[in-house]
Amino acid sequence: MPQLTGYRRLFALPGTRAFTAGNLLARLPAGMFSVSAVVMIAGSRGSYALAGAVTATGLAATALTGPWLARLTDRHGQARTAVPATVVAVLGSLALLLCVRYGAPDWTLFAAYAATASTPNTGGMSRARWAHLLDGDTEALHTANSFEQAADELCFMLGPALAGFLCGTFFPEAGTLAGAVLLLTGILVFAAQRSTEPPPSPAPKSGPPLRVPGIPPLLAGFVATGAVFGSLEVVTLAYANAAGHRAAGGAVLALQAAGSCAAGLLYGRLRPATAPEHRLRWCLLAMTALMALPLLAATTLGSLPALAAALLLAGMATAPTMVTAMTLLQHRTPEGRLNEGMSLAVTGLLLGIACGSAAGGWTADHMSPTTGFTVPLAAAATALAMRGPGTGR
């Protein structure tokens, strides 16, 4: 009987298909909630500024709450922590829906959406399960991390489209309602798979991951990579709007995510021949080089189809970079602290996305959308200048 390899080998392990299915259901709303909230609030209150402020508040609350929630997950187990946290997040989403629908004061929108910050880091919990199941198997863990990154890209590509369809076809609150149902259902399915859950560590033998040498610069690299994502999204939408193709902006961004998803799946089929520190330098170099393509397409060709092709190519470097950085973080995170380590990476990404969005938006407004494409290039170059975040050299 031939030996299974690659992705078939991963999903031949007992319980992996079930927890992956639940996790994907729970992860899809991550790309739905913010879009749904903006459509719902702006449509009801007539203010995109208010909608943006509410979603920004939720982003900040998530960055603050995530590491603390992940620490509880490491100590008490994924199922015992994720289910009650999800219930709080779902109640926050429903409260937001009711506040918008019945004209509650603006401050209630901020309070309700902040409650959704208790949403568990589903991608981090899934990666923690793979690390537990594949302990010591470097090649299989590389494949698992590649699959998880591709899943992230797929969910963030489908989530906004699904939210837009639901809100536009049925009623403005439909995206938020569907996201809440998917999140709760997915977490319940995920948490029910106890055989694959990492054992809790009530009294970790080591200190917080932030105190481990090599992890702080690695997290700084996640911030810089997040700035690439945040700035690229805002600048691309601004460029499409300036070109008179506002509706096409989302489709162009979807190509970037599609390129990253495809590259992540292909990258997972490769057998890593070198240490992750070495691979990360090459991935960052490729990301920096390819991030120059959107700038070149915007300045020299000046057409949206050319920009779309450039973004498709540029996206092919982001997934391998994230996969390798996550692998390195898993290697360096102390035993019993893996969920916390994964959550710190997400916090770094969220911080970078927020900073990148602000920088890209400012550049697009005060200079031009074309000039704005220098921001993701600069962010990628910053990560590269660190000589590969977390190399410790």
Look at residue 3 and tell me if it is in a domain: no
Same domain, 263 and 189: no
| The pLDDT of residue 245 | 67
| The pLDDT of residue 392 | 39
| The pLDDT of residue 179 | 94
Read off the pLDDT of residues 112-142 as tens digits, 9 standing for 90 and up.
Answer: 999 999 999 888 899 889 988 988 788 888 8
Read off the pLDDT of residues 306-321 as tens digits, 9 standing for 90 and up.
Answer: 998 999 999 898 888 9
Same domain, 166 and 240: no
Look at residue 386 and tell me if it is in a domain: yes
> Domains in the chain: how many in total?
2
Domain that holds residue 308: 208-393
Same domain, 337 and 255: yes
Same domain, 112 and 235: no
Q: What does the alpha-carbon distance between residue 251 and residue 246 come to, in Å, rounded to a whole number?
A: 10
Same domain, 132 and 176: yes
Look at residue 90 and tell me if it is in a domain: yes
Same domain, 248 and 355: yes
Same domain, 215 and 183: no
Report, in angstroms and rounded to the nearest whole number, the Rg of the chain calculated over CA atoms: 20
Same domain, 246 and 172: no
Burial class (CB within 10 angstroms; exposed 0-12, middle 13-18, buried 19+) of 287: buried
* Number of residues assigned to the chain: 393
Look at residue 38 and tell me if it is in a domain: yes
Look at residue 152 and tell me if it is in a domain: no
In 3D space, the residue among 347, 354, 344, 346 whose CA is nearest the CA of residue 379 turns out to be 354
Look at residue 150 and tell me if it is in a domain: no
- Residues of the chain short of pLDDT 50, as ranges, are 1-4, 388-393
| The pLDDT of residue 268 | 82
Same domain, 246 and 175: no
Same domain, 217 and 168: no
| The pLDDT of residue 287 | 93
> Are 265 and 150 within 8 A, CB to CB?
yes
Per DSSP, the residues of 348-361 read HHHHHHHHHHHHHH
| The pLDDT of residue 247 | 61
Same domain, 49 and 188: yes
| The pLDDT of residue 389 | 41
In 3D space, the residue among 196, 158, 213 whose CA is nearest the CA of residue 78 turns out to be 196
Q: Mapped to the 3 state alphabet, what secondary structure does 131-168 carry? A: HHHCCCCHHHHHHHHHHHHHHHHHHHHHHHHHHHHHHH
